[in-house]
């Protein structure tokens, strides 16, 4: 029995948790740069809650709301420039995975005069600014991970850099903030959380502790299967999804992700398939591919969901993510070539070669109308 587990983020989950724990902000300084997208922070009510607390605590703040979906190097460099001008003591990230991931990069660039492409080299001269994370979606778990995923237009894919210093120091999870999300966003992000839990559970880097958390996350997803299918959610459902997302994030912070993410990145980069949806389209065949080497884990995943076979989970995902996309064989080969170069692949329990990755894609997606 030997493992390591590192989770430095202080977590507050509950309705009204921002206002109830406003003193957490004063520990971090007197100036805050809020990093978010164009609309969701305001629409959700999170931005008002945060700025009210900041003003109550006499903390000066500035808003940087230029983060798009799947943030690019240019976006985080602009955020870094804004931070250097404002000179904040902390970065407050509000949003889905994109603003949270971008904020982590901005926290580094605020105090290190480097290009965004150099983030992947690590070894930063100055420690990144502390990050406070407030998720508005229940999927990425970025509020409790040391990962920042950015879009690399030169390499034509999404790339992750990791550093323990970009773990958020505090995370506030209030399910009210997810209520403005559409049915599609809610389902796609929920499937992303499920993918994190399953991939983390299957990962070669999994541990006894991460396995416990992964199965709990999968069970939580299972509890809201009916709501996800109906596309109708009450606050209890949304809190359950936020809890599953949180656990999934804690899991992959320890284990990393696997071939599902490696392959899914191309669907998002080239065809703007939402990240969680991209993962979900591949998840059933991923379980089937790994079943010969980890049958007990596949069985445990199915049991946690209240299902019996891999076909059952494929049917569930088809119901949640009806697919109309059609790809060519040449496109699949391109996706395989890109995925095979990622670090995620090595965490997969049954190590796939390029032929395996191609077959997994072909069995998961519609190819030339097949």
Give residue 368's pLDDT.
Answer: 83
Phi, psi of 331 (to 5 degrees): -65, -40
Specify the pLDDT at position 369.
56
Q: What is the DSSP letter of 347?
A: G
Q: How many CB atoms lie within 10 A of CB 154?
A: 8
Determine the pLDDT at residue 370. 55
Q: Residue 303 contacts by C-beta under 8 Å, 6 or more apart in sequence?
A: none
Phi-psi region of 16 (alpha: psi -120 to 50; beta: other; left: phi over 0): left
Helical H runs in the chain?
A: 17-20, 23-26, 40-44, 46-56, 73-86, 97-109, 183-202, 208-223, 225-230, 235-255, 259-271, 275-290, 295-305, 310-320, 329-339, 354-364
* Contact call for residues 156 and 270 (beta carbons, < 8 A): yes
CA-closest candidate to residue 217, choices 192, 236, 235: 192
- Mind listing the pLDDT tens digit for each residue in 62-115? 999 999 999 999 999 999 999 999 999 999 999 999 999 999 999 999 999 999
Interhelix angle 354-364/275-290, nearest 10 degrees: 120
Domains and CATH numbers, the chain: 10-177 (3.40.50.1970), 182-367 (1.20.1090.10)
Stretches in the chain below the pLDDT threshold 50: none
The dihedral of CA 177, 183, 188, 190: what is its sign? positive
pTM of the model: 0.96
Q: How far is it, in rounded angstroms, from Cα 234 to Cα 213?
A: 24
CA-CA distances (angstroms) from residue 67 to 98, 151, 250, 262? Answer: 7, 12, 24, 23
Q: Which residues of 202-214 are buried (b: 16+ CB within 10 A; e: fewer)?
A: bbeebbeebbebb
Entry field: residues in the chain = 370
Query: Which tokens belong to 315?
Result: 């049917």
- Tokens read off for 284: 């059933």
């Amino acid at each position: 029995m030997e493992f390591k587990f590192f989770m430095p983020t202080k977590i507050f989950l509950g309705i009204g948790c921002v206002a109830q724990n406003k003193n957490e902000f004063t520990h971090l300084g007197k100036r805050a740069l809020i990093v978010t997208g164009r609309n969701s922070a305001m629409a959700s009510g999170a931005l008002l809650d945060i700025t009210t607390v900041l003003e109550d605590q006499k903390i000066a703040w500035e808003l940087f709301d230029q983060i798009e979906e799947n943030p690019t190097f240019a976006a985080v460099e602009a955020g870094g420039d804004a931070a250097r001008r404002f000179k904040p003591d902390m970065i407050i990230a509000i949003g889905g995975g994109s603003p949270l991931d971008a904020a982590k990069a901005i926290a580094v660039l605020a105090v290190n005069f480097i290009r965004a492409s150099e983030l992947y080299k690590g070894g930063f001269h100055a420690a990144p600014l502390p990050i406070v994370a407030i998720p508005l979606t229940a999927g990425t778990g970025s509020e409790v991970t040391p990962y920042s995923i950015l879009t690399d237009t030169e390499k034509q894919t999404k790339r992750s850099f990791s550093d323990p210093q970009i773990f958020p120091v505090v995370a506030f999870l209030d399910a009210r903030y997810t209520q403005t999300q559409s049915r599609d966003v809610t389902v796609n992000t929920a499937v992303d959380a499920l993918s994190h839990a399953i991939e983390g559970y299957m990962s070669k880097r999994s541990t006894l502790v991460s396995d416990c958390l992964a199965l709990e996350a999968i069970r939580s997803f299972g509890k809201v299967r009916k709501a996800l299918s109906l596309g109708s959610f009450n606050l209890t459902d949304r809190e359950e999804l936020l809890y599953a997302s949180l656990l999934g994030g804690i899991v992959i912070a320890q284990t990393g992700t696997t071939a599902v993410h490696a392959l899914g990145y191309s669907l998002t980069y080239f065809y703007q398939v939402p990240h969680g949806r991209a993962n979900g389209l591949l998840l059933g065949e991923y379980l089937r591919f790994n079943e010969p080497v980890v049958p007990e884990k596949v069985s445990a995943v199915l049991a946690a969901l209240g299902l019996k076979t891999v076909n059952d989970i494929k049917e569930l995902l088809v119901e949640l993510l009806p697919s109309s996309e059609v790809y060519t064989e040449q496109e699949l080969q391109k996706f395989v070539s890109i995925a095979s170069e990622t670090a995620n692949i090595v965490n997969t329990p049954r190590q796939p070669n390029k032929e395996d990755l191609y077959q997994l894609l072909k069995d998961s997606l519609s190819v030339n109308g097949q």
